[in-house]
Amino acid sequence: MFTSTASEIIDQMETESTTRRGEQLTTDFLSMINNFHSQKQPYDLDLEAYIHKIKYEAILNPPSKGLKKRGVHYFHPSSASSCLRELYHMAKGDKRDEDSIQPHQKRWQKLGGMFGDLIQHDLLAIHKHYQKMTGNDPAFKPTYTTMETKSGEMLKVPMWEEFAKTYGIYSGVPIGGQPDGIIQYKDGSRIGLEIKSKQTSSARTSQFSMRGPDPDHVKQVVAYSILYGVDEFLLLYGNLSKKSWEMSADEQLKYPDLRCFYYRIMDEDRTDLLERFESVMEMVKNETPPKLDVSKWTFNNYKNVIARSITPDEIDELEQEYTGMGLHNDSKVNKRILETYKLMFDYIDQIRGWL
């Protein structure tokens, strides 16, 4: 018969408590959003005027002005999981790619940003109108800070985007960014909010296809945790592709267009990310570029400088990897990565003419 030690019992109790906490927060957030979107939406010109005013004033007098030190290359939360080779060139101050992209890709990017704007807009509307609309207080509300206008007026602004943008040095690592939201739960705790969109298929956010948050997005909120001292995050995924206009109750459960996941950041999460960034800084100092992660090639923003700086030995190693993977191409994952290798080789050949 096996018995658990006291520390194992405590760990299990903490895990169960975190799970219950996560289930409560995600359920409350989705219920609040869905209840609001099930009601006739308020027509509030004052709210629209307020949103336009604070954005206009932020353009004239950016809240983060003066926080960013000249000559310092800051790591950003959105690049927390990027290829180390990409981070290396970013930290060196090399030039980002300026290649044109396919037009549908730009529309894809803009729609994703607009979904985030929609959620932020409605969080402000919920704070103002939810109680009157539903008879219940909202489970979450925005947290606020102040912003000085160009004329010296102090405005109350939500803690997100440009109004919360900050830069700092953390354990020697420069990090800068702006969150999708720092919101407040009904128990008074501050919760980080990260908003993502999916657009390829209504099944992309189904209960079967999406079992948890993307690990890359988790690393991103770890960076925000360092910036804002927030330990708990909600990762909200909105699917812009819908199954149909009318859906049965079963279909709504099977193909929800909103999914929400909870993640509690631990000290080791922050330590691991800071060490990752520190390793890049050390590579820059020693002028030892790290190996290229081909799986991250599609969204690598330094393809051009990598293609020009990569060595013949590195190319040989990548070709050997490509050949080895080709021997086991029965997996869909392998097929996708093989296609990415091919795109990478084609790009380098276009720039260098090696291959």
- Whether 285 is in a domain gets the answer no
**Lowest mean pLDDT across 93-102, 189-198, 278-287:** 93-102
Separation of alpha carbons 322 and 297, rounded Å: 14
Separation of alpha carbons 231 and 36, rounded Å: 27
Chosen domain end from 276, 306, 323 = 276
pLDDT digits (tens, 9 = 90+) for 85-133: 999 999 999 999 998 889 999 999 999 999 999 999 999 999 999 999 9
- Whether 4 is in a domain gets the answer no
Residue 184 and residue 154 share a domain? yes
Query: Residue 322 sits in which domain range?
Result: 290-352
Chosen domain end from 253, 276, 299 = 276
Residue 243 and residue 158 share a domain? yes
Angle at CA 146, nearest 5°, toward 145 and 152? 175
In the prediction, which pLDDT does 311 show?
94
Give bridge partners of residue 177 from the DSSP assignment: 166
pLDDT digits (tens, 9 = 90+) for 196-232: 999 999 999 999 999 999 999 999 999 999 999 999 9
Tokens of 136: 């219940």
Please spell the DSSP secondary structure of 10-47, one letter per residue: HHHHHHHHHHHHHHHHHHHHHHHHHHHHTSPPP--HHH
Q: Is residue 9 pLDDT above 70, yes or no?
A: no
- What confidence category does residue 1 fall into, taking pLDDT thresholds of 50, 70 and 90? very low
**CATH number of the domain where residue 189 is located:** 3.90.320
Model-wide pTM > 0.95: no
Tokens of 286: 């020693």
Separation of alpha carbons 239 and 256, rounded Å: 8
Measured between alpha carbons, how far is residue 67 from residues 79, 168, 220 in Å? 20, 8, 21
Measured between alpha carbons, how far is residue 63 from residues 59, 146, 157, 160, 208 in Å? 9, 9, 10, 11, 42
- What confidence category does residue 194 fall into, taking pLDDT thresholds of 50, 70 and 90? very high
DSSP 95: P
Q: What is the mean pLDDT of residues 315-335?
A: 79
Q: What is the mean pLDDT of residues 40-63?
A: 96
How many domains are contained in the chain?
2
Residue 68 and residue 183 share a domain? yes
In the prediction, which pLDDT does 15 show?
81
